[in-house]
A = this chain, B = another copy of it.
Amino acid sequence: MKKTILIFGMLILALLLLFQFSKYAVISGSLKVELIVAVIAIVFFFIGVFINKKSLKPNQTESAEINHNKIKDLEISSREYEVLLHISEGLSNKEIGEKLFLSESTIKTHVSNLFLKLNAKRRTQAVQIAKACKII
């Protein structure tokens, strides 16, 4: 956030300088009007491209970015989250247990708790909800 403010501040400063310079140049007649207009056009064009890229980046990565706050909101513990990830990989409770060196009953407990927190009735539904919440 601080970086953004700094960059925008610098941008505005540069623009003011450009503005003043163009006015001075026109009045003094040291430069052609076309050239100044062209420079301003190009500069603002790239500013437009730049700002748009900045504002679109979150949209692009949003689908792939994990919403950590949502996980906390749902009160999902770290162990439960691990289990959730393995569920989304298509593993069975037994397989998850073997991967995490836990018994199947422990996994079942975690899964049941996950369903309560995600408001799901099936593991497929849990995966769907988790993806909709951008948790996985």
Binding site for B on A (CB under 8 A): 15, 19, 22-23, 26-27, 33-34, 36-37, 40-53, 56, 59-60, 63, 87-92, 120-129
Contact = CB atoms under 8 A, between A and B. Distances in A.
A62 to B, nearest CB: 10
A52 B44 CA distance: 13
A33 B40 CA distance: 13
Please list the 9 inter-chain residue pairs (A to B) with the smallest Cβ-Cβ separation, ordered nearest first.
A48-B48, A90-B125, A52-B52, A90-B128, A44-B44, A45-B48, A48-B49, A41-B44, A90-B124
Contacts of A63: 63
Contact of A124 (B45, B56, B124): B124
Contact of A33 (B26, B41, B50, B92): B26
A5 to B, nearest CB: 19
A53 B27 CA distance: 37
Nearest to A128: B90
B48 A56 contact: no
A132 to B, nearest CB: 10
